[in-house]
């Protein structure tokens, strides 16, 4: 009898998690290892229903000073729900050889407080799921610091090249549109 009562809550948990997965946008299904940490980032749990900027980064890219602008943008809008996810990548041969060095560049050199993952593939057939879906919804990153603005439903509403600075009026307009979107 006791086993039957224990099985009922387990069934509700299982049903609840499958319902959660059904509500999770395709873009946010899966997880990424967090930069220089032991835990993973459950993309759905962390970002579902929130406006989001996803950016592929590289520690030794000439655009790396954009970390400061991305951090400023995050600080400006985080109280309104904006999230930023930085995904380091060596796809363009400008990323550090290990996560510790990448973490130093992001956290120490640029003061990043937004979420960062360990380096990932962001282009081609080996790209992580997140970037495959970003490419399907818009285009694959053409270089480091390619920025995607995602609305609360997990849809790309704009993407920007490396040349677009985080404080550009076009990017800010897209962020404000994402903030105004309905979950």
Active-site residue, 61 included: yes
Cα radius of gyration (the chain): 18
Assign 115 to helix, strand or coil. Answer: strand
Residues 111 and 71: beta-carbon distance below 8 Å:
yes
- Given the residues 24, 44, 61, 106, select the one marked as catalytic: 61
Beta strands in 115-168 (DSSP E): 115-116, 147-150, 156-160
Q: Which of 109, 104, 118, 110 is nearest to 31 (CA)?
A: 118
Q: What are 148's two structure tokens?
A: 């995607």
What is the SS3 assignment for 67? Answer: helix
Pairing of strands 115-116, 147-150: unpaired
Q: Are 149 and 53 in contact (CB under 8 A)?
A: yes
Structure tokens at 14: 């299982």
Q: Among all residues, which ones are annotated catalytic? A: 61
């Amino acid at each position: 009898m006791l086993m039957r009562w224990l099985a009922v809550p387990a069934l509700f948990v299982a049903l609840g998690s499958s319902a959660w997965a059904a509500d999770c946008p395709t873009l946010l299904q899966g997880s990424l290892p967090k930069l220089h940490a032991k835990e993973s980032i459950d993309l759905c749990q962390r970002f579902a229903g929130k406006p989001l900027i996803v950016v592929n980064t590289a520690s030794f890219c000439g655009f790396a000073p954009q970390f400061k602008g991305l951090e400023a943008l995050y600080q400006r809008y985080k109280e309104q729900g904006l999230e930023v996810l930085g995904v380091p990548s060596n796809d363009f041969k400008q990323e550090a050889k290990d996560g510790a060095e990448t973490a130093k560049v992001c956290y120490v050199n640029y003061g990043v407080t937004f979420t960062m993952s360990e380096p990932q593939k962001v282009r081609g057939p080996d790209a992580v799921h997140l970037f495959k879906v970003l490419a399907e919804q818009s285009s694959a990153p053409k270089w480091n610091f390619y920025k995607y603005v995602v609305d609360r439903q997990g849809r790309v509403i704009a993407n920007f090249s490396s040349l677009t600075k985080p404080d550009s009026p076009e990017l800010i307009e897209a962020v404000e549109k994402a903030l105004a979107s309905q979950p």
